[in-house]
């Protein structure tokens, strides 16, 4: 929301802490007493979990600027420096080589790597399965509690609350998509593999896992065959990228288009649960159920 306010606030907090210590009025709590945890994350879904779990006890810094793309992220020298100063980093190893390199050169106190939650080959988009997000929530709470034991109770309570919300979201998905079991989900950005796996859909990607890769003519022919062979009614595309390929394909085949959001970048009025529910509504309306 106010990306420039955070460092200044922290600097102010540090100054207060130092002067309190010099005056001999500092508590016995030691250096971690009043100092906020510095948490750095490498994409929006990780930011959402970190902010919900730490809720005011930490500064959460997303390496991806608002509206930017988390694929192919480049880091400035300043960002590499900030990453090196973080207490806790939450990332998905393998998604952003620049982040992996910086973390290897200068490891933070604690690292939560969500890659084990992203166990489909080459596909980082685990957050589109709410049950995997719930698992991340617990891991972030554990790491934050280790670093800031005074906040452990709060982190655990926040994680439990978020975990319950994510479980409820998962149940909504399961109930709404049960009649669609086995349906084919054709999507421009192949980001919905975990969602498809969880709710028994068959994902067919047009452009692949990285949205910047143009589909080959052979791939497009396969998609056309799938659409006609499986009674697909809708091609889903991502609002933020050019829908030209999907629109042209859809027109050629006489099917409709709809938007599925990969929840990788958000505007100020969007958040994870809101976008996930918009996606669910688009799926139940667009799939052949």
Q: How far apart are CA 206 and CA 224, in angstroms?
A: 10
Among 60, 191, 223, 283, binds Zn ion (CB under 5 A): 191
Q: Report the 10 Å Cβ neighbour count for 222.
A: 14
Question: Concatenated DSSP letters for 82-151?
Answer: HHHH-SEEEE-TTT-HHHHHHHHHS--SEEEE-GGG--STT---GGGSHHHHHHHHHHHHHHHHHH-GGG
Residues facing residue 234 across a β-bridge:
256
**Of residues 259-278, which lie at the interface with Zn ion (CB under 5 A)?**
262
Q: Please, what is the minimum distance in Å from the beta carbon of residue 74 to Zn ion?
A: 16
C-beta pairs of 154-159 under 8 Å, 24+ apart in sequence: 154/55, 154/57, 155/53, 155/54, 155/57, 158/52, 158/53, 158/54, 158/55, 159/53
Q: Does 287 bind Zn ion (CB under 5 A)?
A: no
Q: Does 92 bind Zn ion (CB under 5 A)?
A: no
Contact range with Zn ion by CB under 5 A, out of 32-40, 142-150, 185-193, 199-207: 185-193
- Residue 156 tokens read as 């655990």
Report the residue number, 107 or 122, with the smaller CB distance to Zn ion.
Answer: 122
Q: Does 195 bind Zn ion (CB under 5 A)?
A: no
Contact range with Zn ion by CB under 5 A, out of 108-116, 134-142, 255-263, 275-283: 255-263
Report the residue number, 72 or 281, with the smaller CB distance to Zn ion.
Answer: 72
Report the residue number, 52 or 265, with the smaller CB distance to Zn ion.
Answer: 265
The DSSP output letter for 35 is: P
Contact range with Zn ion by CB under 5 A, out of 83-91, 190-198, 241-249, 275-283: 190-198
Report the residue number, 45 or 130, with the smaller CB distance to Zn ion.
Answer: 45
Contact range with Zn ion by CB under 5 A, out of 48-56, 191-199, 217-225, 232-240: 191-199
The binding site for Zn ion (CB under 5 A) comprises 191, 262
């Amino acid at each position: 929301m106010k990306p420039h306010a955070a460092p200044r606030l922290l600097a102010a907090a540090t100054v207060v802490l130092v002067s309190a210590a010099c005056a001999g009025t500092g508590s016995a709590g030691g250096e971690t007493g009043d100092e906020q945890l510095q948490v750095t994350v490498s994409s929006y879904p990780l930011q959402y979990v970190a902010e919900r779990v730490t809720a005011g006890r930490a500064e959460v810094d997303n390496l991806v600027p608002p509206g930017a793309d988390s694929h192919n992220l480049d880091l400035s020298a300043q960002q590499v420096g900030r990453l090196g100063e973080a207490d806790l980093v939450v990332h998905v190893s393998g998604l952003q080589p620049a982040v992996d390199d910086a973390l290897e050169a200068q490891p933070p106190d604690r690292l939560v790597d969500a890659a084990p939650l992203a166990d489909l080959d080459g596909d980082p988009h685990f957050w589109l399965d709410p049950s995997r997000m719930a698992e991340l929530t617990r891991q972030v709470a554990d790491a934050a509690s280790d670093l800031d034991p005074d906040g452990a109770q709060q982190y655990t309570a926040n994680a439990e609350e978020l975990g319950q919300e994510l479980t409820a979201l998962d149940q909504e998905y399961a109930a709404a998509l049960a009649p669609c079991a086995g349906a084919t989900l054709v999507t421009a950005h192949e980001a919905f593999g975990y969602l498809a796996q969880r709710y028994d859909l068959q994902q067919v990607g047009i452009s692949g896992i990285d949205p910047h890769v143009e589909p080959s003519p052979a791939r497009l022919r396969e998609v056309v065959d799938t659409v006609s062979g499986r009674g697909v009614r809708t091609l889903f595309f991502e609002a933020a990228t050019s829908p030209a390929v999907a629109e042209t394909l859809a027109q050629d085949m006489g099917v409709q288009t709809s938007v599925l959001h990969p929840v990788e970048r958000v505007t100020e009025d969007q958040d994870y649960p809101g976008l996930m529910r918009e996606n669910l509504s688009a799926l139940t309306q667009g799939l052949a159920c």
